[in-house]
């Protein structure tokens, strides 16, 4: 098998770059998700020990429940506009006690407020 000519090689590299660039989210940034439980309960009262947030195609981010509601924050790297953010608050047995889903705005703020609703462990 012969090697591609320098012009063909440059064209192949340019095509590969164009395809990989098209798959990258535009305007990605790190955001903080401040979450709370819809019924106003603390994590201790609700039996939740951690929260998990995720975006499509990205790794899940998690954080321990705080005794103070203002402490319930999770940093999400590489958030991108119009992505659907999902979240759940889990028990020690990994049951999803509360859930939420929110589409991120086109102009990403530094912090998102997210309210999780009781899901009964499902």
Q: Give tens-digit pLDDT for 2-18.
A: 655 655 555 555 555 44
Q: Please spell the DSSP secondary structure of 8-30, one letter per residue.
A: HHHHHHHHHHHHHHHHSPTT-EE
Q: What pTM did the predictor assign?
A: 0.76
pLDDT of amino acid 78: 94
Cα 23 to Cα 52: distance, rounded to the nearest angstrom = 25
Kindly give, in sequence order, each residue whose CB lies less than 8 Å from that of residue 57, ignoring residues fewer than 6 positions away: none
């Amino acid at each position: 098998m012969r090697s591609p000519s320098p012009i063909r090689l440059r064209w192949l590299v340019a095509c590969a770059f164009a395809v990989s660039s098209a798959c990258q989210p535009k305007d990605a940034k790190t955001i903080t998700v401040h979450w709370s439980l819809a019924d106003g309960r603390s994590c201790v009262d609700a039996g939740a020990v951690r929260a998990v947030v995720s975006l499509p195609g990205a790794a899940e981010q998690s954080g321990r429940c705080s005794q103070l509601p203002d402490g319930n924050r999770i940093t999400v790297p590489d958030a991108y506009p119009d992505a659907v953010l999902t979240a759940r608050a889990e028990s020690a047995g990994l049951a999803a006690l509360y859930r939420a889903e929110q589409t991120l705005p086109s102009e990403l703020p530094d912090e998102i407020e997210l309210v999780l609703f009781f899901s009964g462990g499902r």
